[in-house]
Amino acid sequence: MMFFVKKLPWTSLLLLLFTNSVFGWLIAASEWMSKTDRPWLFWLMGAGYVVLIALALTAPLTLLQTVYGSWIKSDTRAFMSVIIGAFLAVLILCWINVFIRILVLLSAGALARLDLQVAGYKEWQAFVILAVFSLTGFGLGIAGQQGFMSN
């Protein structure tokens, strides 16, 4: 057990923890959180997003190739993919401040995933480690903001 903890890439995992803490803080401090009577719904959506990032980063590449490879076998589907991709690019440019936050979360997760892969962790172990550190950071950010605002 000690070897398992000792070989963890602590620098990238702490970076992942801190970036998710900032994400949790921003979710808890956003103006639409004060306008709703169900803030737990937004926290649950944020936690789901954090787990989805961890899952996407640890999904096997062959699974992604199978899904996307079978989708683009016809010209119509390829054309639809280009149109949808262009629409997503416009959304990204219009909401660049939101996209930058998402990109920072993805970058920290990808760095931690690469370090876990180099350290020799299996995919399910990497997913559990990423999910635990991400959700812990997200929860710490929410708790920190709530504690800061109550004082």
93-112 pLDDT per residue, tens: 998 988 899 899 999 999 99
Statement: residue 58 has pLDDT above 70:
yes
* Average pLDDT for 66-85: 77
Statement: residue 116 has pLDDT above 70:
yes
Cα–Cα distance, 50 to 138 (Å, whole number): 8
Residue 60 backbone dihedrals phi, psi, to 5 degrees: -65, 140
H/E element, 29: helix 10-29
* Average pLDDT for 54-70: 73
Cα–Cα distance, 132 to 48 (Å, whole number): 13
Q: Where are the domains of the chain?
A: 11-150
Which pLDDT score, from 0 to 100, does residue 28 have? 87
Confidence of residue 114 (pLDDT cuts 50, 70, 90): very high
Cα dihedral sign for 6, 12, 16, 19? positive
Q: Is 9 helix (H, G, I), strand (E, B) or coil?
A: coil
* Average pLDDT for 73-101: 87
Which pLDDT score, from 0 to 100, does residue 5 have? 65
Q: What is the pTM of this model?
A: 0.79
Cα–Cα distance, 17 to 140 (Å, whole number): 9
* Average pLDDT for 32-38: 74
Q: Is 121 helix (H, G, I), strand (E, B) or coil?
A: coil
